[in-house]
């Protein structure tokens, strides 16, 4: 009788172990992002654009359209989902958003991922009509989706954006109280334009998402090419502040309501050196041959200096003609 009871208990233990393994296998990998906090956390997300002619003087867009930011797209998710990833190919949703600001595919992808319990919620804010400005919204993060990813398109640009990839707001059982991140421009790898206003020039084959730096892409025509800088100043930033959320407060916070007065950050001016063309060929020698003539060559300004950059050199040179180059005037 006793042996049958022991056998029964052993069989139940084995069954529980099998069921636990099956549950863990269906749950999928957590990638070290599990959060054991007891409840959700509410945050105010503030996006700030720092894109100005002082910090980014090269080819700064003044019209058609002027420098501005698209709507912000943010999702909360777990470790099984990525909105985008530096070094990976952009999805069709990321491509459409980075190139033309269309969110249809991004929204569809987030809804599909939510059905698989990979995404918690999606948030949006309106665009900012200038290079310097703020937008904000309130986020509610759950322990099952403690990661935050977001994107904002740089307007105008071929396929450039700023973003945050899988920012973990929960460490173990604690929600973080405040975080501030500086953002640098990213290239989605789907358009080969070099400048803010470049025409559409698809990249074939598609390249991976890469960070744009002061020297990469290494081409003087690139709008972010500043060879004198070791790194670009932040073009934008985000600030996340946790809010105390009482049970009595159920009304979500509206977009663009900032929690505290925000003063624009001051960054040092970025010097922009003058750029000139190559010299033209020498002109014909003019003047009486008996005294020797003079010939000229010229060059023109490609990029005017700004913010105490190196001034432009002389744009015209002349030299005396050698006899065999002399052309007599009629």
pLDDT digits (tens, 9 = 90+) for 158-195: 999 999 999 999 987 899 999 999 999 999 999 999 99
Q: pLDDT: is 165 or 24 the higher one?
A: 165
Higher-confidence residue of 141 and 23: namely: 141
What's residue 271's pLDDT?
A: 79
Q: Which range is most confident: 120-134, 215-229, 259-273?
A: 120-134
The pLDDT of residue 260 is 45
The more confidently predicted of residues 14 and 246 is: 14
State residue 6's pLDDT score.
Answer: 45
Q: Highest mean pLDDT: which of 66-75, 238-247, 260-269?
A: 66-75
Provide, rounded to the nearest whole percent, the portion of the chain with pLDDT above 70: 79
For residue 142, is pLDDT > 60? Answer: yes
Contacts of 305 (CB under 8 A, 6+ apart): 271, 272, 273, 274, 311, 312
Mind listing the pLDDT tens digit for each residue in 215-258? 998 888 899 999 888 999 999 999 999 998 654 444 444 455 44
What's the chain's Rg over C-alpha atoms?
29
* Residues in Cβ contact with 48 at an 8 Å cutoff, skipping those fewer than 6 apart: 133, 134, 236, 237, 238, 239, 262, 264, 265
Q: Which tens digits make up the pLDDT trace of 80-111? A: 999 999 999 999 999 999 999 999 999 999 99
Q: Are 55 and 223 in contact (CB under 8 A)?
A: no
For 275-327, which CATH class? mainly beta
- Sketch the domain layout of the chain as residue ranges: 41-243, 275-327
Share of the chain above pLDDT 90, in %: 57
Alpha-carbon span 46 to 259, nearest angstrom? 9
Mean pLDDT of the residues in the chain: 84
Q: Is the pLDDT of residue 137 over 70?
A: yes
pLDDT-derived band at 265 (thresholds 50, 70, 90) equals low
Q: Which residues contact 310 (CB under 8 A, 6 or more apart)?
A: 271, 273, 274
Query: Does 209 score more than 50 pLDDT?
Result: yes
Q: Which residues pair with 301 in a beta bridge?
A: 276
pTM for the model stands at: 0.76
| CA nearest to 42, candidates 253, 238, 225 | 253
Render pLDDT for 276-319 as a digit per residue (tens, 0 to 9): 888 898 888 877 766 777 888 988 888 788 777 788 888 888 88
* 58-62, 88-92, 144-148, 317-321: segment of lowest average pLDDT: 317-321
3-state secondary structure of 93: helix
Nearest residue to 34 (alpha-carbon basis) of 78, 83, 81:
78
For 77, list phi and psi in degrees, rounded to 5: -160, 180
> Coil, strand or helix: which one is 296?
strand
Kindly state the average pLDDT of the residues 31-39: 80
- Looking at residue 319, its pLDDT comes to 86
What per-residue confidence (pLDDT) applies to 8? Answer: 56
Average pLDDT over residues 139-164: 96
* Multiple choice CATH, 41-243, 1.10.760.10, 2.40.50.140, 2.30.42.10, 2.60.40.2130: 2.60.40.2130
| pLDDT value at residue 264 | 52
Q: Are 204 and 89 in contact (CB under 8 A)?
A: no
Structure tokens at 196: 């803010």
């Amino acid at each position: 009788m006793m042996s049958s009871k022991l056998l029964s208990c052993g069989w139940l233990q084995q069954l529980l172990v099998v069921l636990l393994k099956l549950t863990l296998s269906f749950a999928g990998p957590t990638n070290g992002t599990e959060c054991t906090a007891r409840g959700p956390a509410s945050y105010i997300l503030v996006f700030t654009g720092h894109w100005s002619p002082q910090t980014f003087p090269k080819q700064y867009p003044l019209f058609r359209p002027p420098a501005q930011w698209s709507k912000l797209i943010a999702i909360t998710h777990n470790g099984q989902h990525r909105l985008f990833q530096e070094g990976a190919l952009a999805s069709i949703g990321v491509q459409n958003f980075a190139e033309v600001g269309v969110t249809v595919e991004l929204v569809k992808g987030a809804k599909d991922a939510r059905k698989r319990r990979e995404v918690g919620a999606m948030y949006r804010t309106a665009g900012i009509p200038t290079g310097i400005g703020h937008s904000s919204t309130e986020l509610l993060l759950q322990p099952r989706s403690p990661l935050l990813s977001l994107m904002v398109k740089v307007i105008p640009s071929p396929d450039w954006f700023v973003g945050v990839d899988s920012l973990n707001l929960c460490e173990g059982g604690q929600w973080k109280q405040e975080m501030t991140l500086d953002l640098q421009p990213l290239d989605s790898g789907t358009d080969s334009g070099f400048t803010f206003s470049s025409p559409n020039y698809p990249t074939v084959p598609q390249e991976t998402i890469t960070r744009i730096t002061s020297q990469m892409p290494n081409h003087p025509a690139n709008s972010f090419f500043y060879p004198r800088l070791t790194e670009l100043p932040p073009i934008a930033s985000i600030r996340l502040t946790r809010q105390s959320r009482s049970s009595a407060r159920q009304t979500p916070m509206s977009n663009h309501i900032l929690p505290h007065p925000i003063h624009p950050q001051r960054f040092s001016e970025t010097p922009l050196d003058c750029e000139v063309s190559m010299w033209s060929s020498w002109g014909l020698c003019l003047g009486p041959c008996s005294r020797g003539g003079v010939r000229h060559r010229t060059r023109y300004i490609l990029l005017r200096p700004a913010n105490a950059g190196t001034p432009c050199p002389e744009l015209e040179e002349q030299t005396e003609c050698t006899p065999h180059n002399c052309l007599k005037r009629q």
